[in-house]
Amino acid sequence: IQWLETLAGFECKGIVLANEVIDAMPVHLFKIGAHGEILEGCVKQQDTDWVIEYRPPTTPELIDAVTKLQTSLD
């Protein structure tokens, strides 16, 4: 293991593991509804709390990606 402050001038044949990079990546949260429909989780404020509200997806790419995932699992 080698800890780096920067990747400048660093050559690597292997894997660069960066802590909390995955946590900072934008992702779509989804679930399959009671009738098989794809629903996207969106954060909204409700009174003084933040809650997840599931609704129809806002992007066609999400529907395509979930459909492909479901097909690969069959």
For the stretch 14-50, pLDDT in tens is 776 777 776 777 788 999 999 999 999 999 999 999 9
Share of the chain above pLDDT 90, in %: 53
Q: For the chain, what is the total number of helices (H) and then of strands (E)?
A: 1, 3
pLDDT at position 2: 66
Instruction: State the pLDDT confidence band at 62, using cuts at 50, 70 and 90.
Output: very high
Q: What mean pLDDT value characterizes the chain?
A: 86
* Chain mean position to CA 43: 14
What is the pTM assigned to this prediction?
Answer: 0.63
Q: How far apart are CA 63 and CA 56, in angstroms?
A: 9
Pair of tokens at residue 17: 């593991």
